[in-house]
């Protein structure tokens, strides 16, 4: 997909030196490619050192000014301090943190196993809130920067088919709302990113996956949101804002009967 927005002093406040947590996600990969084409500096954190090495080479070829990588399991909160220290040492002037990692396990597994349930809540909410707290304090002290965090439309209303994932994303969205309010006066932007279904490895086993949004389109919206007029809450593709407004209006006595 071609992109026309250019980084310049007037069009973009953030997105020049970007830390990406969960850099191997399908959505993050597309964001990284688009940022690389603009000559951004990227610091990538993900689980697989092999995939990070391949990604580094690819993004440098695509135009990234600089790429650093760090392998970590971000669900492990004990590892967060090391991730944070690496970022501070390798790219102390980072202007943006994009949190992209997440997990959507089969809802039925979470219903049958408290361990699976807790893993899902930890990956999607608890660990995310933990690592964001480190970066938030740093940016608050610095008085600038942007935290852009991928949650989901699934967090806007509890549905029987995915309320565990949805409740973690909903909690993350609430957390971001409060964080935004706290950091506003410090000059730090917090963007809540709510994609609808997207064609990535997370969803490729689902029926109708071919009709989901292309990750390149979602990435374009995310990269644009790092520009000067960035929204507080980004629904992507855009129409999900209106779909979820309608879904939230359905009275609970009716909603609980819907096979959603
Ligand atoms: N696809 C959708 O329909 C959709 C819709 C709304 C929101 N989202 C959200 O968008 C974000 C990106 O997801 P995606 O669609 O791009 O799916 P994806 O390609 O499956 O990406 C998920 C990423 O999370 C990483 N991850 C999972 N657990 C991790 C852990 N413990 N430590 C480090 N990384 C971990 C995975 O790492 P590995 O590469 O090592 O497996 C993978 O890169 C997620 O937060 C997801 O919840 C997705």
Contact of 86 with 70, CB cutoff 8 Å: yes
Atom of ligand 1 nearest to the CA of 76: 31
CB of 22 closer than 6 angstroms to any ligand 1 atom: yes
CB of 75 closer than 6 angstroms to any ligand 1 atom: yes
Contact of 185 with 168, CB cutoff 8 Å: no
What CATH number belongs to 13-255?
3.40.50.720
Closest protein CA for atom 46 of ligand 1: 102
Contact of 21 with 98, CB cutoff 8 Å: yes
To test the pocket of ligand 1, the residue of 22, 24, 26, 216 to mutate (highest count of ligand atoms within 8 Å of its CB) is 22
Rg (CA), the chain: 18
Atom of ligand 1 nearest to the CA of 197: 3
Residues 6+ apart with CB under 8 A from 205: none
Separation of alpha carbons 125 and 39, rounded Å: 31
| Residue count of the chain | 260
Closest protein CA for atom 1 of ligand 1: 198
C-alpha distances in Å from residue 18, one per residue of 106, 118, 122, 214: 32, 30, 24, 22
What pLDDT does 11 receive? 53
CB of 52 closer than 6 angstroms to any ligand 1 atom: no
The closest of 123, 130, 160 to 252, measured between CA atoms, is: 160
Separation of alpha carbons 115 and 112, rounded Å: 9
Span 192-225, pLDDT tens digits:
999 999 999 999 999 899 999 999 999 999 999 9
Contact of 26 with 203, CB cutoff 8 Å: no
What pLDDT does 13 receive? 79
What pLDDT does 1 receive? 33
CB of 5 closer than 6 angstroms to any ligand 1 atom: no
CB of 46 closer than 6 angstroms to any ligand 1 atom: yes
What pLDDT does 132 receive? 98
To test the pocket of ligand 1, the residue of 25, 175, 205 to mutate (highest count of ligand atoms within 8 Å of its CB) is 25
- The residue extents of the domains of the chain are 13-255
Cα–ligand 1 centroid distance for 96 (angstroms): 19
Pairing mode of beta strands 233-236, 66-71: unpaired
What pLDDT does 5 receive? 37
Half-sphere exposure of 101 (CA within 13 A, CB side): 28
The token pair at 25 is 């996600």
Cα–ligand 1 centroid distance for 25 (angstroms): 5
Q: Which residues pair with 150 in a beta bridge?
A: 193
What pLDDT does 89 receive? 97
CA dihedral in degrees (196, 198, 201, 207; nearest 10)?
90
Separation of alpha carbons 64 and 35, rounded Å: 7
Span 41-69, pLDDT tens digits:
999 999 999 999 999 999 999 999 999 99
For the chain, 260 residues long, give each residue's pLDDT as a single digit of tens.
Answer: 333 333 333 456 799 999 999 999 999 999 999 999 999 999 999 999 999 999 999 999 999 999 999 999 999 999 999 999 999 999 999 999 999 999 999 999 999 999 999 999 999 999 999 999 999 999 999 999 999 999 999 999 999 999 999 999 999 999 999 999 999 999 999 999 999 999 999 999 998 999 999 999 999 999 999 987 889 999 999 999 999 999 999 999 999 999 88
Buried b (16+ CB within 10 A) or exposed e, 158-173: bbeebbbbbbbbbbbb
CB of 102 closer than 6 angstroms to any ligand 1 atom: yes
């Amino acid at each position: 997909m071609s992109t026309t927005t250019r980084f310049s002093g007037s069009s973009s406040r953030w997105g020049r030196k970007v830390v990406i947590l969960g850099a191997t996600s399908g959505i993050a990969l597309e964001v990284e490619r688009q940022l690389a084409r603009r000559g951004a500096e990227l610091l990538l954190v993900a689980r697989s050192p092999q995939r990070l090495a391949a990604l580094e080479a690819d993004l440098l070829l695509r135009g990234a000014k600089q790429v650093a990588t760090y392998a970590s399991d971000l669900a492990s909160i004990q590892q967060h301090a090391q991730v944070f220290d690496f970022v501070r040492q390798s790219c102390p002037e980072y202007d943006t943190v994009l949190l992209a990692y997440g997990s959507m396990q089969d809802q039925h597994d979470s219903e049958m196993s408290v361990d699976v349930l807790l893993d899902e809540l930890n990956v999607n909410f608890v660990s995310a809130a933990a690592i964001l707290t480190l970066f938030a304090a740093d940016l608050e002290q610095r008085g600038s920067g942007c935290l852009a965090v991928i949650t989901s439309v699934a967090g806007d209303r509890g549905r029987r088919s995915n309320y565990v994932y949805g409740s973690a994303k909903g909690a993350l969205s609430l957390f971001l709302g409060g964080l935004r309010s706290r950091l506003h006066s410090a000059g730090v932007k917090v963007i809540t990113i709510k994609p609808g279904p997207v064609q990535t490895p997370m969803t490729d086993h689902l029926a109708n996956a071919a009709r989901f949004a292309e990750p390149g389109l979602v990435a374009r919206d995310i990269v644009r949101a790092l520009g000067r007029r960035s929204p507080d809450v980004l629904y992507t593709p855009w129409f999900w804002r209106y779909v979820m407004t309608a879904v939230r209006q359905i009275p609970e006595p009716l909603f609980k009967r819907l096979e959603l």
